[in-house]
Amino acid sequence: MILFHQFFDPTSYTLSYLLADPLTGDAVIIDSVKEHVGAYVTFLQEQELQLGWVLETHIHADHITGAAGLRELTGARSAVGASGGVGCADRLLSDGDTIVFGNELIRVIPTPGHTPGCLTYHWRDRLFTGDSLMIGGCGRTDFQGGDAGTLYDSITERLFVMTDETLVYPGHDYRGARVSCIGQEKASNPRLKGRSRADFIEVMAALDLPRPRMIDEALPANLRCGRDGELDIHAT
């Protein structure tokens, strides 16, 4: 059995994911949160795992990544989308690239629109969609170079072509949900169901959402792979 663990940050409603090959002990973390670095390291130690990669689905505006702390404490490498504008990452990912951990393989699918550098990670029967596709929603497109038409294309042409049973694990959820599937999102996502590209662009333009509370702190730090000062390695 492959080890899979979902973490939740109640401050930013971020969902983070740890995947591991129990045969080799190699692991990856997707969309880590700085304040939980200590908890991640403890979990890795308890499960006797070695962290190989810290992956980002995009450059976050609502929390600071734990990449810097995890790289320092575990020796893991970091990876982000090649279009994300981050020069400090160990690897910049493009369409068709793969991440190998143990005997497992993650495929990289660019899904821009929320931001230009957004990625979805495809592993086995599941997608880690970040802010591109959420449960009953999708990421906003009104800042960080977002583009509603591009997001619509990403979702409909790269994600909705997957089988209906493919699981969807988003980067956030604000209503207590933890997993969906492609079939469910095609059938019931209110931002996408029955909407043309033009309809979707109109819907997104009318959202009028507040500015992310942490954007002034999070964006500069995440462009430095989470380095924003002293690291609190004991944070949980």
91-124: pLDDT as tens digits: 999 999 999 999 999 999 999 999 999 999 999 9
**Could you give the count of Cα atoms lying within 13 Å of 79 in the half-sphere of its Cβ?**
23
The domain ranges of the chain are 3-209
pLDDT in the model for residue 229 = 52
- H or E segment to which residue 8 belongs: strand 3-9
Q: Is the model's pLDDT at 236 over the cut of 70?
A: no
| Tally of CB atoms within 10 A around 99 | 21
At what angle are helices 67-74 and 37-46 packed, to 10 degrees? 40
Q: Please name the fold of domain 3-209.
A: Metallo-beta-lactamase; Chain A (3.60.15)
Q: Is the model's pLDDT at 165 over the cut of 90?
A: yes
**Which ranges constitute the DSSP H helices of the chain?**
37-46, 67-74, 148-154, 182-188, 197-205, 215-222
Q: Is the model's pLDDT at 232 over the cut of 60?
A: no
